[in-house]
């Protein structure tokens, strides 16, 4: 290499500066923080998502719940079994179509859903803790645009 020739940027540094790399690392950190918070209550992120969906939609048909959350039907059955086994949801025949199950939160399920939501919000506060309120606002707006493909 000639004395005046600029030194090339190391390839790993170049990769680590890519938006896709940084988004992946931020996502992994966010998932870890939220997962750890929910685990303190014996729950996982899919449990929380389903509890929130049932809180919003319930009583809701199991198939509709799967469509709205995007979980594979096999996974949905396992999640619902976990939640029902813990006394957090009930499955009952849907009055509109007795061939379907309607999923509802129990009182304990509603209380836990609200607690998990607070824990998730606290974890996200930690995730964005290094940003000012204005930086958070801009970051979330830009991130929403990237996710929507409008960047």
Q: Has residue 25 been placed in a domain?
A: no
Q: Has residue 134 been placed in a domain?
A: yes
Q: What is the structure's pLDDT at 55? A: 97
Give this prediction's pTM: 0.83
The DSSP H or E segment spanning 89 is strand 89-94
Q: Has residue 88 been placed in a domain?
A: yes
Comparison of pLDDT for 35 and 96, the residue scoring more: 35
Q: Has residue 50 been placed in a domain?
A: yes
The DSSP H or E segment spanning 103 is strand 97-105
Span 32-78, pLDDT tens digits = 999 999 999 999 999 999 999 999 998 999 889 999 999 999 999 99
Q: Has residue 130 been placed in a domain?
A: yes
Q: Has residue 140 been placed in a domain?
A: yes
Give residue 121's domain range.
34-148
Span 103-132, pLDDT tens digits = 999 999 999 999 999 999 999 999 999 999
Q: Into how many domains does the chain fold?
A: 1
Span 64-76, pLDDT tens digits = 999 999 999 999 9
Q: What is the CATH number of the domain that holds 105?
A: 1.10.10.10
Q: What is the structure's pLDDT at 101? A: 85
| Helix extents (H) in 58-106 | 62-69, 73-85
Q: What is the structure's pLDDT at 97? A: 81
Span 8-17, pLDDT tens digits = 778 999 999 9
Q: Has residue 97 been placed in a domain?
A: yes
Q: CA–CA separation, 120 vs 116, rounded Å? A: 6
Is 105 in a helix, a strand, or coil?
Answer: strand
Does residue 2 surpass a pLDDT of 60?
Answer: no
Does residue 4 surpass a pLDDT of 90?
Answer: no
Q: Has residue 2 been placed in a domain?
A: no
Q: What is the structure's pLDDT at 129? A: 96
Q: What is the structure's pLDDT at 96? A: 78
């Amino acid at each position: 290499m000639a004395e005046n020739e600029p030194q090339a940027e190391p390839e790993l540094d170049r990769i680590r500066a890519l938006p896709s790399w940084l988004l992946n690392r931020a996502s992994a950190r966010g998932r870890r923080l939220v997962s750890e918070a929910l685990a303190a209550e014996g729950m996982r992120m899919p449990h929380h998502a389903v509890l929130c969906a049932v809180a919003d939609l319930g009583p809701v048909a199991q198939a509709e719940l799967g469509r709205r959350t995007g979980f594979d039907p096999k996974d949905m059955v396992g999640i619902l079994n976990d939640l029902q086994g813990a006394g957090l949801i009930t499955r009952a025949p849907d009055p509109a179509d007795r061939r379907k199950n309607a999923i509802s939160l129990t009182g304990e399920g509603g209380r836990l859903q609200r607690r998990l939501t607070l824990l998730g919000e606290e974890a996200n506060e930690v995730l964005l803790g290094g940003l000012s309120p204005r930086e958070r606002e801009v970051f979330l707006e830009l991130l929403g645009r990237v996710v929507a493909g409008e960047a």
